[in-house]
Structure 1
Amino acid sequence: MDERNLPSDVIAVTEHAFARIAPKWWPGNPGSVLVIPRLHVENIYALSPADGFALWELVQRVAGSIRSSYECEGTSIRQHNEPAGDQDVWHLHVHVFPRYEDDRLYLRHEESQWVSPADREPYALKLRRALGLPFTFTG
């Protein structure tokens, strides 16, 4: 556990996946979320169909909750595999970004920044309320 990975970042936990506020944001797209399988898999190639279904079901719920809670104009979903596919974390995860007209998300990678737990907290609270799912790990 460190400042970039706190229990307070978790917004939803299901049997096979969980979602958390991302600790790194792009300008103009605050409050992005990572959806992650609970079972360790390095990339999409190793994901079982059952875990894949559960992961994408949570991605869909998170995207809808971001859209309604943040009053954004849309969402983008992104997932990377292997170095040539820009994977730099060796545990599968799906990014869900709030989108706004002319936000230039894909042109601003070099401007991304780590954000404090205090900056992440209001987004976590909004999404926990919207999702209505457990947000702590049990068992």
Structure 2
Amino acid sequence: MTQRAYARIAPKWWPANAGGALVIPRHHVENLYEIPQVDGHAVWDLTQRVAAAMRSTYGCEGVSTRQHNEPAGGQDVWHLHVHVLPRYQNDDLYQRHLEARWVPADERRPFADLLRTSLQLPTSFS
């Protein structure tokens, strides 16, 4: 599975949803319409694992996933990826879009460590 997809902590966070992750196919594909089934399965399987790990390690009350295709669908990065977001009661995630901020790597590191440990995933591949 990890040969076809990987996860990383997203560099953009919303105020009440720190530690969101991205699940990304290793081979370039622009959007959902083009992804080969084998890569789609790997992305979705890893998305499920990340969501479960997020719920158990972050103490969040739920998880949301998002994936955008084409400009009208909200796509602004031209490589397929799935957002996995920790959710909490009354976090108003979808009402706070303009409050999102870019987060430096050192702030993302503790969340990466939590998920990596829970998922037993390596940090890189050779």
Query: Shorter-chain-normalised TM-score: which range?
Result: over 0.9
Structure 1: which 4+ aligned runs deviate by more than 4 Å? Answer: none
1:100 aligns with 2:93: no
Counterpart pick for 1:71 among 59, 68, 78: 59
Q: CA deviation at 1:134?
A: 2.1
TM-score (structure 2 length as normaliser) = 0.98
| Seq. identity, % | 61
CA distance in 2, matches of 1:48, 1:115: 32
Counterpart residue identity of residue 11, structure 2? P
Counterpart pick for 1:130 among 87, 106, 118: 118
Q: Counterpart of 2:73?
A: 85
TM-score (structure 1 length as normaliser) = 0.89
CA distance in 2, matches of 1:135, 1:56: 20
Q: Which runs of 5+ in 2 are unaligned?
A: none
1:113 aligns with 2:101: yes
Instruction: Give CA deviations for 1:41-70 in whole Å, capped at 9, x if unaligned.
Output: 000000011110011000000000000000
Q: Which runs of 5+ in 1 are unaligned?
A: 1-12
Counterpart pick for 1:33 among 18, 21, 43: 21
Task: Give the CA RMSD over aligned residues.
Answer: 0.9
Aligned residues: 126
SS, match of residue 94 in structure 2? helix
Q: Counterpart of 1:19?
A: 7
SS, match of residue 102 in structure 1? coil
Counterpart residue identity of residue 42, structure 2? A
Instruction: Give CA deviations for 1:70-124 in whole Å, capped at 9, x if unaligned.
Output: 0000000000000000000000000000000000001111000001111101111
CA distance in 2, matches of 1:53, 1:131: 17
